[in-house]
Amino acid sequence: MHIADGIISPEVCAGMAVASAGAVGFSLRQLKKTETTKTIPLTGMMGALVFAGQMVNFPLVVAPVSGHLLGGVLASIILGPWAGCLVVTLVLVVQWALFADGGMVALGVNVFNMGVIGALGGYAVYAGLRRWMPSPRGTITSAIIAAWLSVLAASTMFCLEFALSGHHDYSLPNLFALMTTFHSLIGLGEALITGFVLSVVLDQRPDLVYGQPSLDNMQTETPRRSWQATPLRTAVVGLMVALAVAGFLAPFASGYSDGLEAVAEKMGFDAHVDADPQVLVLDEYQVPLGSEDSWFMSKLSVSIAGIGGTLAVFAIALLLGRGLKPGAEAGHAT
């Protein structure tokens, strides 16, 4: 799951890092608002737990291969979306700082895919679904669906970032289909583990789950308006659903898009035969002096398209969410 350096282009990495920094900063601010001193020890412990939990191997049918927990949705369910996002971010930082897992420049990308889309988005799905199914069984079901979607959405997000990186010699719809198929299987494992673990927690200490009625004074410190659909949550649900739908439609659309892409490629190749078609690389040898501008412009346009596209999607989703705000039905945009 960890994207190493060298896969996503630096421009996209920069854009994603900005987006991630914004989301993490926002999460920090939300946590500071709760005015509890508990955040630091609790979040730190949860991070250590997710880290250790990943060392527990779950055997698969194929003998030497095993899966493990990713933990984004689980952390969000226990500590709430903001702390959950932080937990995933910090687990990624520690894995980077101890094992060099996941790239340094690509850290922002990883945080965005797994922390923002995975934990925040996953929590939004979970919260939305739980409004329908408030029973313990419903809680577990919501968590399972959210965990599965979070993995799928992260892989979808990766495909988008990869496409924006300006790699050319591949078929995006097919890559999409490949990644989606692969990750819907991984997601199945994550969903099952999350469901099992949550059922244990609900059985033993239901008060530990964020937003549950408290048994001790733990939650009296932070009065929680659980399950209310805030515009942000609604927006994130919308984004998630859109990504999931796109992920699902991709395999079916691939045949059609392949033809379309082939045509576009042909025409694009004919049109730009003397411009550098490979925006991925800084190639001083192939770019004739005159087209220095066009190279720069194409590079710039790729990065602007990347950042702008992501922001536009968020802006649209946020606006939609704001429009839906007062309705009780706003939590589950379907």
Partner 1 sequence: MPRDFLDPYSRGNSICHRLPDRLKILLVLAMIITALFVPPENWPVHGCMAAAVFLAMTLAGIPLRYLLVRLMFFFPMIMGLAIAVPASTGFTKGWDVMATVLLRGTLSFMGVLWLVNVTPFDRLLVALRQLGLPQMLAAILAFMYRYIFVVFDELERMREGRRARTFSKQGLLAAWKSNAQLIGMLLIRSMNRAERVHGAMCARGFDGEIRTLDS
Residues 99-118 that bind partner 1 (CB under 8 A): 99-100, 103-105
Residue placing its CB nearer to partner 1 in the complex, 103 or 238: 103
Residue placing its CB nearer to partner 1 in the complex, 135 or 204: 204
How distant, in Å, are the alpha carbons of 22, 128, 160, 246 from that of 165? Answer: 21, 33, 9, 19
Residue placing its CB nearer to partner 1 in the complex, 199 or 294: 199
SS3 287: coil
253 touches partner 1 by CB under 8 A: no
Chosen residue from 285, 290, 293, 334 binding partner 1 by CB under 8 A: 285
Q: Residue 334: count other Cβ atoms within 10 Å of its Cβ.
A: 7
218 touches partner 1 by CB under 8 A: yes
Q: Which stretch binds partner 1 (CB under 8 A): 117-125, 130-138, 196-204, 309-317?
A: 196-204
Query: Does residue 172 contact residue 267 with C-beta atoms inside 8 Å?
Result: no
Chosen residue from 58, 132, 252, 296 binding partner 1 by CB under 8 A: 58
Chosen residue from 40, 263, 315, 319 binding partner 1 by CB under 8 A: 40
69 touches partner 1 by CB under 8 A: yes
How distant, in Å, are the alpha carbons of 5, 36, 46, 137, 208 from that of 220? Answer: 44, 10, 20, 25, 13
2 touches partner 1 by CB under 8 A: yes
Residues 142-181 that bind partner 1 (CB under 8 A): 167-172, 174-175, 178-179
Residue in 152, 184, 199, 190 with CA at minimum distance from that of residue 71: 190
In the complex, the smallest distance separating the C-beta of residue 126 from partner 1, rounded to whole angstroms, is 16
Chosen residue from 18, 22, 30, 38 binding partner 1 by CB under 8 A: 38
94 touches partner 1 by CB under 8 A: yes
Q: How many whole angstroms from its chain centre is CA 173? A: 19
55 touches partner 1 by CB under 8 A: yes
Residue placing its CB nearer to partner 1 in the complex, 61 or 289: 61
Residue placing its CB nearer to partner 1 in the complex, 210 or 332: 210
291 touches partner 1 by CB under 8 A: no
How distant, in Å, are the alpha carbons of 44, 59, 262, 281 from that of 265? Answer: 49, 44, 5, 18
Tokens for 132?
């329908």
59 touches partner 1 by CB under 8 A: yes
Report how far residue 110's alpha carbon sits from residue 97's, in angstroms, rounded to the nearest whole number.
Answer: 14
Chosen residue from 22, 26, 30, 49 binding partner 1 by CB under 8 A: 49
Query: Does residue 76 contact residue 126 with C-beta atoms inside 8 Å?
Result: yes
15 touches partner 1 by CB under 8 A: no
26 touches partner 1 by CB under 8 A: no
Size of the site for partner 1 (CB under 8 A): 80
> What sections of 165-274 are H helices per DSSP?
172-204, 231-271
Query: Does residue 84 contact residue 123 with C-beta atoms inside 8 Å?
Result: yes
In the complex, the smallest distance separating the C-beta of residue 174 from partner 1, rounded to whole angstroms, is 4
How distant, in Å, are the alpha carbons of 68, 129, 140, 175, 210 from that of 137? Answer: 23, 12, 5, 36, 16
